[in-house]
Structure 1
Amino acid sequence: MPFLIAAVVLVGVLCLFDLLLTFAVLRRLREHTAELERLAGRPGFSSYDPGMLVGHRLPEAARAPGATLVAFFDAQCDTCHDHAPKFAVRARRYGALAVVSGDGARADELVAAVGPDAAVIRGEDAHAVADDTGIQAFPTFVLVDGEGSVVQASTELAELPEPAPAA
């Protein structure tokens, strides 16, 4: 019987030791993960509010005579391709400008979907205009006044009121 008691105590001590080692390993893994994230410099996601653009002036390259609605699209953005026909409807009725970032067949499809009624800036000029304007999300739709100042901006075309007809 004394051997049985000694064996149970020994197993209990070993289990307790194993439990302490497990907690130590978990703590080290958490520290290691935090260190890897710090070293990787992985930026967190920041919220983007296109309303921050209100009051900014569009760069000279993005101003077109009579343009009251400006859309910023990216060729690789599926949502941009979904919004392009809706933008084309507004472009038929009002002055509009589409800034299409990207090249290739998808950019050509996007330009075709925007339609012939909107002026289009594309390629490197489009990248420069989007950067100068402070666009951080695609698509972004911007209403501008006659002097090129942003009046209202949104990532949803439906959130913008119908602009006044172009002269």
Structure 2
Amino acid sequence: MAYVSAALVLVGLVAAVNLLLTFGIVRRLREQTAELAALRAGGGAPVMPDNDVAYPAGTPLDQFITTDVDGVAVSSTTLGSRPLVGFFSPHCLPCKEQLPAFVEHARTRPGGRDGVLAVVVGTAEETAEVVRQLRAVARVVTEPDQGQVQRAFGVTGFPGFILVEDGVVAASNFLLGAVAEHDTAAQPAAG
């Protein structure tokens, strides 16, 4: 009889621990669902201290040299004094959602495609459609994950948008709107 009582107490304790863990998981899933809904709705993401996807404003740009999809050399010095840089992954839903806005902003930006760099991460087959959309408005580079251009900008996620002014990051964010506002506000002073 003592064994049965001990077994019942043990099963009860295991069930109680399981219930507590389940409540914790459900709470975390609710938080993540709310964060995802905010991102998809386009209303800014929750403000977090580590929401940068690239080097923060004020960081000097690291040097890099690569070749774009047209076979032309691209480096940190050939982008001009105020390049806009976008990082995309063909498997990233937020990248697909923000791509048309990036193309439109790049199309209306003074200086044409030479002042805009788009970096698409993946294989040639994976990146073909994104490259096709970007090619008319930007110099496009494709590279594997954690390639040299991503490392030069400190990119840790996608999409990533960076505005560089005189070799220093002026703005960076995973939302184009934040960087585009800074870019548009600085254009009359630069133009």
TM bracket (short chain) = 0.5 to 0.7
- Name the Cα RMSD after superposition: 3.3
Q: Is the 8 A contact 2:161 2:174 kept in 1?
A: yes
Deviation at 1:152?
0.9
Q: Is the 8 A contact 2:81 2:164 kept in 1?
A: no
Q: Is the 8 A contact 1:75 1:103 kept in 2?
A: no
Aligned to 2:100: 85
Aligned to 1:136: 156
Cα pair distance change 1:108/1:59, threshold 3 Å: farther
Q: After TM superposition, which residue ranges in structure 1, 4 or more long, deviate above 6 angstroms?
A: none
CA distance, structure 2, for counterparts of residue 66 and residue 52 of structure 1: 17
Normalising by structure 1, report the TM-score.
0.67
User: What is the number of residues matched between the two proteins?
Assistant: 139
Per-residue CA deviations over 1:114-134 (Å, capped at 9, x if unaligned) read 241211121259721112321
Cα pair distance change 1:97/1:52, threshold 3 Å: closer
Per-residue CA deviations over 1:91-128 (Å, capped at 9, x if unaligned) read 11223111111113331111112241211121259721
1:58 to 57, 61, 65: 61
CA distance, structure 2, for counterparts of residue 87 and residue 139 of structure 1: 11
Aligned to 1:117: 137
Cα pair distance change 1:54/1:72, threshold 3 Å: same
Cα pair distance change 1:22/1:125, threshold 3 Å: closer
Aligned to 2:112: none
CA distance, structure 1, for counterparts of residue 176 and residue 11 of structure 2: 54
Cα pair distance change 1:126/1:65, threshold 3 Å: farther
SS for the counterpart of 1:84 is: helix
CA distance, structure 1, for counterparts of residue 138 and residue 12 of structure 2: 63
> Does residue 156 of structure 1 match 2:175?
yes
Structure with larger Rg: 1
Cα pair distance change 1:23/1:52, threshold 3 Å: farther
CA distance, structure 1, for counterparts of residue 62 and residue 55 of structure 2: 16
Normalising by structure 2, report the TM-score.
0.59
Identity %: 27
Aligned to 1:22: 11
Deviation at 1:149?
0.8
Cα pair distance change 1:106/1:47, threshold 3 Å: farther
CA distance, structure 2, for counterparts of residue 17 and residue 47 of structure 1: 49
CA distance, structure 2, for counterparts of residue 126 and residue 97 of structure 1: 17
CA distance, structure 2, for counterparts of residue 138 and residue 69 of structure 1: 15
Deviation at 1:144?
1.0
Gaps of 5+ in 2: 19-47, 65-74, 110-114
